[in-house]
Amino acid sequence: MDRNQQLFEKAKTIIPGGVNSPVRAFGSVGGIPRFINKAQGAYVWDENQTRYIDYVGSWGPAIVGHAHPEVVQAVCQAAKNGLSFGTPTENEIRIAEEIRHIMPSMEQIRLVSSGTEATMSTIRLARGFTGRDNIIKFEGCYHGHSDSLLVKAGSGLLTFGNPSSAGVPEDFSRHTLVLPYNNVEALQQTFANKGDSIACVIVEPIAGNMNMIPATTEFVRALRELTERYGSVLIYDEVMTGFRVALGGAQSIHGIKPDLTTIGKVIGGGMPVAAFGGRADIMANISPLGAVYQAGTLSGNPVCVTAGLKTLEIIQRPDFYTTLSKHTRQLSDGLTAIAREANIPFSSRSEGGMFGFYFTDNLPSCFADMQNTNQILFKEFFHAMLSRGAAFAPSAYEAGFVSAAHSSEIIADTLGLAAEAFTEIARTV
């Protein structure tokens, strides 16, 4: 029996669904998840020793390529000095300063261990700061799995066709107002009706959890203008887009200064680090300074912070984002050209090292558009590529990631595989 299959069967006997995070289970595409035991540069290897060109990148963190030698060396060095102290360390100051240098809107910063903790904490902080209960989020945006945010969310929830989670009390979800993404009118109307009760608006400024859908300029301007007018906190959830779509994240592209920002993924260089931060007057409400409680045994873990610091150093080297963007565009434009040649309805977009592709001719601009893409073709394409040695995320509702290790030649190899895959699936169109 295939070793991936063997391990999956065994995993299911002890781990629910055989996985420790739902989208890993291949639920929407079917088949056996690959059990990966090695990753280097642009590649991952499974338990059968099969190599794949990897466009998942650990769901975003692997921007400098897997197991980058400088990151690995820094981590090994740090580990020798102790794995965790539970005290303040100098490197926590360094990484916070580095983050503020890159994202100046983050005047004060707190480190946590996951994106979920970061977004959950910003919601509590915004509520504590404003003394209001209601929050606004957008359909198809995923902000981690805390109760208030698991309402009409994206990512794994969409993959499994159940955008709101069981187990979230009605009392919680009624404070979460869910609006359509990129719809200025709905936003204006909600603020006109309930503006004084809204603690915050949380948004994925370039959504990546209903596949990749950027916010329009009008939408972003309305977000900033209305939150300012009504005294609500604007939260940019840049857990995915931070250091990914551009060094300074989506806020640097939009020219917007959010009140609070959440980051994760890239900031840990593959280890569990995330952070939230923003206006100093709001952050002053966090414990021990203020009354909003937030804590973590392993927050600012010294080994993880070292991985993050080294990653931040690498991504600030000359031309890092120019090359990353060029290669990501090569992939996205190349896929579109090949698919069109094969008469397959297809479109694609990219920003920095992030891309999305859709089995439809017109680029989607909201969740409803995404629902109209051809999921069957996605599934066929996914497996046609996987069997040829290129791994994309196992869901039509996830964005993809290119790393600095994905050379132009590796992208060209991928496009060669895609030409075969599109020809194969064209037969079913």
Where in the sequence numbering do the catalytic residues fall? 142, 237, 265
171-185: burial string, b at 16+ Cβ within 10 Å, e else? eebebbbbbebbbee
Q: Find the shortest distance in angstroms from Cβ 37 to ligand PLP.
A: 22
Residue-wise DSSP of 361-381 = SS---SHHHHHTS-HHHHHHH
In the chain, the N- to C-terminal Cα span, in Å, equals: 33
Q: Find the shortest distance in angstroms from Cβ 265 to ligand PLP.
A: 7
Euclidean distance between CA atoms 284 and 292, whole angstroms: 9
Residues that bind ligand PLP (CB under 6 A): 59, 114-116, 119, 142-144, 155, 204, 208-209, 237, 239-240, 264, 274
Please, what is the angle between helix 320-341 and helix 408-426, to 10°?
20
Q: Which CB sits closer to ligand PLP, 59 or 181? A: 59
State whether residue 43 is helix, strand or coil. strand
Which residues 6+ apart lie within 8 Å of 34 measured at CB? 4, 44, 46, 47, 50, 52, 386, 391
Q: Which CB sits closer to ligand PLP, 41 or 144? A: 144
Q: Which CB sits closer to ligand PLP, 339 or 393? A: 393
Q: Find the shortest distance in angstroms from Cβ 398 to ligand PLP.
A: 9
Q: Find the shortest distance in angstroms from Cβ 266 to ligand PLP.
A: 11
Q: Find the shortest distance in angstroms from Cβ 84 to ligand PLP.
A: 19
Burial class of residue 159 (count of CB atoms within 10 Å of its CB; 0-12, 13-18, 19+): buried
Extract the tokens encoding 20. 């420790």
Cis peptide bond prior to 288, omega within 30° of 0: yes
Q: Give, for 120, the enclosing helix (H) or strand (E).
A: helix 115-130
Q: Which CB sits closer to ligand PLP, 54 or 237? A: 237
- Measured from each CB, the residue nearest to ligand PLP is 115
Q: Find the shortest distance in angstroms from Cβ 405 to ligand PLP.
A: 21
Euclidean distance between CA atoms 119 and 126, whole angstroms: 11
Q: Which CB sits closer to ligand PLP, 274 or 309? A: 274
Q: Find the shortest distance in angstroms from Cβ 244 to ligand PLP.
A: 10
Contact 205, 236 (CB under 8 A): yes
Extract the tokens encoding 391. 């791994």
The tally of CA atoms less than 13 A away on the side-chain side of residue 155 is 19
Q: Which CB sits closer to ligand PLP, 204 or 351? A: 204
Q: Which CB sits closer to ligand PLP, 142 or 422? A: 142
Euclidean distance between CA atoms 131 and 96, whole angstroms: 28
- The sheet that has 347-351: what strands, in order across it? 347-351, 354-358, 400-401
